[in-house]
């Protein structure tokens, strides 16, 4: 009998404890536009927000699968995939908020609170997020582009909601805020395609055969496998310098990432061919007269 009484008392105490815990979790802690929000509703919202993130990932995978065999520019494909993910996540968040009783009028109230927060310290986050959306829709840059912004030159590997990852030639990943691509001057070498003209400058001594110099430069350019034959390489007699006759060799390349190596090869070959043809590359000289 005593054991039964103890069990009943224990069970009653446990039920009371559960009721108290339930009361704590279900008691409203704040109210927005008539909607009472409790700890339990916030916990449910957190779960639904997590599901919205999962939904975003599935939306990206689905978009990627649908576009897999379609002939679409790589950058356009990446933008569509990212936009699909953002839209799915946004819809998931709206559904989550609706399930916990937060309607559009409540969202307006929350938006007012967020506006105050943005005014006090979230300006950069909001600016970078909006800039990310502008980048995805207008596409001034896209994945794989070679860009120079804020003193950083490299290839874009990923455009995120807040920032863009740029990988330099040294394989260093640099995180650049999206607002930099909207508010500052950006050089996009890939904007009009993977083809660009490069120039190699060289000076020869006064008295050199300029026709021979031009022929040697064109021969060097035409023999390099990476130099395009159309448009053809060109040589320009640039100027009469203080110590040299200055020439520019212009070549077209479609391997922008490897242009540094190609131009280096051309300079090595020019130096060798000038030696073979006894063409002198001068260095600055000064004649100093000492007066007694």
Rounded Cα–Cα distance for residues 164 and 178 (Å): 6
The answer to the question of residue 111 being in a domain is: no
What's the confidence (pLDDT) of residue 273? 95
The answer to whether position 137 is within a domain reads no
What DSSP string runs through 46-75?
HHHHHHHHHHHHHHHHHHHHHTTTS---HH
In a domain, 204, yes or no: yes
Task: Give the domain-ending residue among 172, 188, 204.
Answer: 188
Same domain, 6 and 98: yes
The sheet that has 146-149: what strands, in order across it? 173-177, 163-167, 152-159, 146-149, 186-188
- Whether 135 is covered by a domain: the verdict is no
Residues 81 and 6 both lie in one domain:
yes
Its pTM stands at 0.60
Quick one: tokens of 137?
A: 């829709």
263/32 Cα distance (integer angstroms): 65
Residues 28 and 80 reside in one and the same domain: yes
CATH for 159:
2.30.30.60
- Look at residue 7 in the predicted model and tell me its pLDDT: 60
Domain membership of residue 126 (yes or no) is no
| 110 within domain boundaries | no
Which of 188, 206, 222 represents a domain boundary (last residue)?
188
230, part of any domain: yes
- Tokens 């790589």 locate to 74
Please report the pLDDT score of residue 25 as a whole number. Answer: 62
pLDDT of 89 reads 77
| Same domain flag for 158 and 174 | yes
Which one of 188, 222, 251 terminates a domain? 188
Domain match, 96 and 26 both: yes
Burial string for 46-76 (b: 16+ CB within 10 Å, else e) reads: eebeeebeebbeebbeebeeebeeeeeeebe
pLDDT of residue 27: 66
CB distance 245 to 203 below 8 Å: yes
Domain range for 184 is 146-188
Point out which residues pair with 239 in neighbouring strands: 246
Look up residue 261 and give its two tokens. Answer: 């190596």
Query: Are both 177 and 150 inside the same structural domain?
Result: yes
- The tally of domains found in the chain comes to 3
Statement to judge: residues 83 and 158 lie in one domain: no
Q: Are residues 158 and 204 in the same domain?
A: no
182 close to 124: Cβ distance less than 8 angstroms: no
Please list the pLDDT of the chain residue by residue as tens digits (292 residues).
455 555 655 666 656 666 666 666 666 666 555 566 666 677 777 777 777 778 788 888 887 787 777 766 666 677 777 777 877 777 777 766 666 666 655 555 555 555 655 555 567 777 887 888 788 777 888 888 899 988 889 999 888 878 899 999 888 999 999 989 988 889 998 887 778 899 999 999 999 999 999 999 999 999 999 999 989 999 999 999 888 999 999 999 998 888 999 999 999 999 999 999 999 998 776 666 777 6
Q: Is residue 63 part of a domain?
A: yes
């Amino acid at each position: 009998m005593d054991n039964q009484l103890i069990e009943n008392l224990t069970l009653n105490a446990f039920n009371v404890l559960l009721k108290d815990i339930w009361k704590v979790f279900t008691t409203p802690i704040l109210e927005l536009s008539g909607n009472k929000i409790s700890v339990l509703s916030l916990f449910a919202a957190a779960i639904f927000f997590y599901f919205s993130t999962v939904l975003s990932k599935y939306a990206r995978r689905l978009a990627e699968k649908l576009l897999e065999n379609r002939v679409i520019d790589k950058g356009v494909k990446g933008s569509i995939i990212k936009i699909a993910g953002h839209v799915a996540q946004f819809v998931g968040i709206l559904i989550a908020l609706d399930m916990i009783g937060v309607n559009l009028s409540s969202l307006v109230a929350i938006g007012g609170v967020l506006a105050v927060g943005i005014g006090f310290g979230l300006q950069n986050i909001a600016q970078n997020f909006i800039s990310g959306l502008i980048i995805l829709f207008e596409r001034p840059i896209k994945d794989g582009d070679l860009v120079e912004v804020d003193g950083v030159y490299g290839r874009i590997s990923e455009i995120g909601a807040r920032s863009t990852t740029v990988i330099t030639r040294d394989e260093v990943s640099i995180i650049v805020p999206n607002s930099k691509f909207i508010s500052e001057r950006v050089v996009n070498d890939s904007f009009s395609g993977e083809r660009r003209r490069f120039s190699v400058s060289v000076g020869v001594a006064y008295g050199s055969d300029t026709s021979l110099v031009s022929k040697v430069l064109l021969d060097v350019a035409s023999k390099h496998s990476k130099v395009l034959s159309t448009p053809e390489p060109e040589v320009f007699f640039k100027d009469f310098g203080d110590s040299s006759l200055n020439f520019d060799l212009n070549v077209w390349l479609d391997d922008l990432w490897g242009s540094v190596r190609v131009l280096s090869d051309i300079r090595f070959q020019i130096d060798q061919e000038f030696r073979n043809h006894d063409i002198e590359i001068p260095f600055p000289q000064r004649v100093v007269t000492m007066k007694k």
